[in-house]
Amino acid sequence: MSSRQPAAWTRKVELVRLGVPGRQEVEGWPRESGVSAADVEALIRAFEAQVGNPSVPEPERDKARAVANAGRDLGIDVAGGVITDWLRSIGIG
């Protein structure tokens, strides 16, 4: 067996960046209706995971705890609305 790779394997890889319609189709996000409650819950859980991660420095865990608590205090629907408005203001949603 030859150690040379076929020419097709040595070609340059071209990357494609999806626009909003493509991301909506492929990833299901961002949704035209905005950020869902499940999205906000997942974001809060991600911050909570940082809080419970001993490899994250304590000051960063404190910040993650504050964000997770603020998200829960604000309410899932309100937080989702705020995130949706922000995403739209920067041209993502």
Which position has the higher pLDDT, 87 or 46?
46
Per the domain annotation, does 2 fall within a domain? no
* Domain that includes residue 72, residue range: 35-93
pLDDT band at 28; cut points 50, 70, 90? low
Counting the structural domains of the chain, the total is 1
- Does residue 74 lie within any of the structural domains? yes
Does 89 fall in a domain? Answer: yes
Confidence (pTM): 0.60
79 lies in some domain: yes
17 in a domain, yes or no?
Answer: no
The tens digit of pLDDT for each residue in 51-80 reads: 999 999 999 999 999 999 999 998 888 888
The answer to whether residue 62 is domain-embedded is yes
In a domain, 19, yes or no: no
Cβ burial 44-55 (10 Å sphere, 16+ → b, else e):
beebbebbeeee
Q: Please indicate, yes or no, if residue 11 is contained in any of the structural domains.
A: no
